[in-house]
Amino acid sequence: MNTSIDFVLNGQPVSTRCRPDTTVLEWLRGDALLRGTKEGCAEGDCGACSVLLKQGMPSKQGARYQAANSCILLMGQIEGAALLTVEGLAQSAPDGHSIQQHMAENGSSQCGFCTPGIVTSLAGVLDQNGSPEESDIHDALAGNLCRCTGYRPIVEAAVSAAQSANNQLPEADADIGKDLVGVQEESVFHLPKTLAELLELKNKYPDAVLLAGGTDLSLDVAHARARWERVICTRDVEELQILQISDDKLIVGGAVSWQAALPHLETYWPSFATLVRRFGSTQIRSMGTLAGNLATASPIGDGAPSLIALNTNLTLASKTGKREVPLDEFFTYYRKCDLLAGEVIEAINIPLPKMDQEFRAYKISKRYDQDISTVCGTFSVTLENGLVSDARIAFGGMAATPVRCKQAEDAIVGLEINEITLTAAKAAIETSFKPMSDMRGTADYRLLVASNLVDRLFADLSGDVVEVMAL
Ligand SMILES: Cc1cc2nc3c(=O)[nH]c(=O)nc-3n(C[C@H](O)[C@H](O)[C@H](O)COP(=O)(O)OP(=O)(O)OC[C@H]3O[C@@H](n4cnc5c(N)ncnc54)[C@H](O)[C@@H]3O)c2cc1C
Ligand code: FES
Ligand code: FES
């Protein structure tokens, strides 16, 4: 027996029966014959497939549409949601959405292949923010590649669209959705609503795919044509949506996206927020979660170094109970972490900054936007009476896992920040790591960059530098 996937598409209710591990892009262009949404890279990089998504669970009530890459979004993930495509935008006003009009009038499109994705991303930012800064427009475009027109006329069109019209998108009735959709025995997609239901399913189906935003996992479907018999999706689990301050910690639930966490990171750790704004693109951050990033145990994942330096711990839950694990002990080997069978990351607990605690995160990558780190250096330093009373220093891209550099911490704790401690910390970094060489950078380059980040930190703390775009 098939269970339909029900959602709202361009304002109209839709009920469809298809494998829930079909990508939304494939469904739109194939079944729905809506071919305005394009396929470019099929891996979340180019934005040609951008759509606007509004999810319906209670914690997202009142939320606006978010841009997402439909090439790595699965049909199961839009159960109950509202989806808007470029065709829906064209119907949203008699002459199309104002961004479509301004793009056309301003000559902001040449071959036009990227244009549907670009107007979709821009309609998303204009819906969220009636008077965006130019930096908001650049942020919204970081995940949309245009090869022939160039971005100046595109940004100009967005600025004039923002000034000339009310760009709020029509409200749509996103709903919480069913807890199971799919083609039974072939492809089943569970959307449990409580942690107890999630853990029961994890226990019952140990081989099922555990999916959060899918910005890592679903590349297998988009690119390698993987087929999944059973998926358990964390999207609707109420306890995993928590995002609150409690006991001097920021608690981020195991299904909270980077985009949702960003305002809190901005409040407490502005430098971390600057790094997160360079994490993928708006489309990736609106779907990708902190828990998914940590569970991949990637040595160059951008979340782990900052969270290790901030002394984060994880709450892991399984059917048999809960345990707390410090994040600096969570990564066990290349791409391996201390998650037992049946366990999920329930929460990420980040201690709030103490008085006199300074935090800096530096991401070094080949491109400023939409690129993974070559090296990521993060530093939490507490100064009392001119002396370093506490330090936690962590790196990504320097070893098989994200790691803390205790030698560098020991080189500065109890001492003043001056030329001597700076040299000692740099020497400690140079002797602590044996990084690998790969297409992102050689071992020598990584060592040099990592130790130079100490110069950058000391200059930063002493007020000698202003924010540098390239870092
Ligand atoms: C174009 C593009 C750009 C990217 N840019 C960056 C970048 O700049 N920096 C960076 O670090 N990463 C980047 N990524 C990788 C990815 O977006 C992140 O790792 C993201 O945070 C993954 O989260 P997710 O929710 O999408 O995980 P998913 O893909 O859903 O899952 C990833 C893994 O986490 C597991 N998992 C998910 N939730 C839980 C949970 N609660 N408990 C236990 N296990 C869980 C899944 O089973 C799976 O093994 C990029 C990816 C793409 C496609
Ligand atoms: S096709 Fe390139 S991001 Fe989806
Ligand atoms: S108009 Fe041709 S790629 Fe943008």
Centre of ligand 2 to C-alpha 40, Å, is 5
Residues with CB under 6 A from ligand 1: 43-45, 210-217, 234, 254, 279-280, 284, 287-289, 291-293, 295-296, 301-303, 339, 344-345, 372
Q: Are 406 and 335 in contact (CB under 8 A)?
A: no
The rounded Å distance from CA 426 to ligand 1 centre is: 32
Q: Please report the atom of ligand 2 found closest to the CA of residue 49.
A: 4
Q: Is the CB of 17 under 6 A from ligand 3?
A: no
Least trusted range by pLDDT, from 1-5, 141-145, 223-227, 396-400: 1-5
Residues 73, 284: Cα–Cα separation, whole Å: 10
What are the tens digits of pLDDT across the range 293-342?
999 999 999 999 999 999 999 999 999 999 999 999 999 999 999 999 99
Residue 260 C-alpha to ligand 1 middle, in angstroms?
15
Digit-coded pLDDT (tens) for 102-113 = 999 999 999 999
Q: Is 149 in the pocket of ligand 3 (CB under 6 A)?
A: yes
Give 115-138 pLDDT, tens digit per residue: 999 999 999 999 998 889 999 999
Q: How far is the CA of 341 from the centre of ligand 2 (A)?
A: 33
State the distance from the centre of ligand 3 to the C-alpha of 150, rounded, in angstroms: 8
- Is residue 219's pLDDT more than 50? yes
Query: pLDDT at residue 292 above 70?
Result: yes
> 146 CB less than 6 Å from ligand 3?
yes
Distance 108 CA to ligand 3 centre (A): 9
The protein residue whose alpha carbon is closest to atom 4 in ligand 3 is 146
Alpha carbons 151 and 377: distance in angstroms, whole number:
31
pLDDT at residue 61 greater than cutoff 70: no
Confidence of residue 173 (pLDDT cuts 50, 70, 90): confident
Q: What is the 437 CA–ligand 2 centroid distance (Å)?
A: 29
- In this predicted structure, the answer to whether residue 467 has a pLDDT above a threshold of 90 is no
Instruction: Identify the burial level of 156 via C-beta atoms within 10 angstroms of its C-beta, where 0-12 means exposed, 13-18 middle and 19 or more buried.
Output: middle
Average pLDDT over residues 1-27: 94
Give the whole-angstrom CA distance, residue 78 versus residue 21.
11
Alpha carbon 471 to its chain centroid, in Å, reads 19
Pair 122, 137: CB distance under 8 Å: yes
CB atoms within 10 A of CB 411: 23
Q: How far is the CA of 115 from the centre of ligand 3 (A)?
A: 6
Q: Which residues contact 378 (CB under 8 A, 6 or more apart)?
A: 272, 305, 306, 308, 309, 359, 360, 361, 362, 393, 394, 395
Beta bridge partners of 439: none
Alpha carbons 107 and 87: distance in angstroms, whole number:
20
pLDDT band with cut points at 50, 70 and 90 for residue 469: very low
Instruction: Give me the DSSP letters along 86-140.
Output: HHHHHHTSTT--HHHHHHHHTT--SS-SSHHHHHHHHHHHHHH-SS--HHHHHHH
Q: What is the pLDDT of residue 462?
A: 80
Residue % of the chain over a pLDDT of 90 = 84
d(CA 160, CA 137) in angstroms, rounded, equals 12
- Give, as one character, the DSSP assignment of residue 436: P
**274 or 439, which is more confident:** 274
Task: Supply the mean pLDDT for the chain.
Answer: 93
pLDDT tens, position by position, 378-428? 999 999 998 999 999 999 999 999 999 999 999 999 999 888 999 999 999
Q: Which of 53-62, 136-145, 253-262 has the weakest average pLDDT?
A: 53-62
Mean pLDDT value of segment 231-243:
96
Residue 358 and residue 384 in contact, taking contact as beta carbons nearer than 8 Å: no
* CA-based nearest residue to 19, from 82, 75, 84: 75
Tell me, what DSSP letter sits at residue 285?
A: H
Minimal-distance CA residue to ligand 3 atom 2: 111
**Residue 280: pLDDT band by 50, 70, 90 thresholds?**
very high
Rounded CA separation 197/291 (Å): 18
Q: Which residues sit with their C-beta closer than 6 Å to ligand 2?
A: 39-42, 44-49, 69, 71
Mutate which of 38, 71, 145 for ligand 2? The one with the most ligand atoms within 8 Å of its CB, which is 71
Contact (CB, 8 A) for 249 and 351: yes
In order of their start, the domains of the chain are 2-86+172-233 (3.10.20.30), 93-164 (1.10.150.120), 238-351 (3.30.465.10), 357-461 (3.30.390.50)
* pLDDT band, very low/low/confident/very high, at 156 (cuts 50, 70, 90): very high
What pTM did the predictor assign?
0.96
Asked whether the predicted pLDDT for residue 204 surpasses 60, the reply is yes
The pLDDT of 150-177, averaged and rounded, is: 89
Which pLDDT belongs to residue 470? 41
Mutation probe of ligand 2 site: the residue of 24, 35, 46, 118 with most atoms within 8 A of C-beta: 46
pLDDT at 1: 61
Residue 136: predicted pLDDT? 94
pLDDT at 22: 97
Q: Please, which residues have CB within 8 angstroms of residue 178's CB and are 6 or more apart in sequence? A: 3, 6, 79, 80, 191
The pLDDT of residue 468: 46
The count of other CB atoms within 10 Å of the CB of residue 157 is 26
Q: Report residue 464's pLDDT band, with 50, 70 and 90 as the boundaries.
A: low
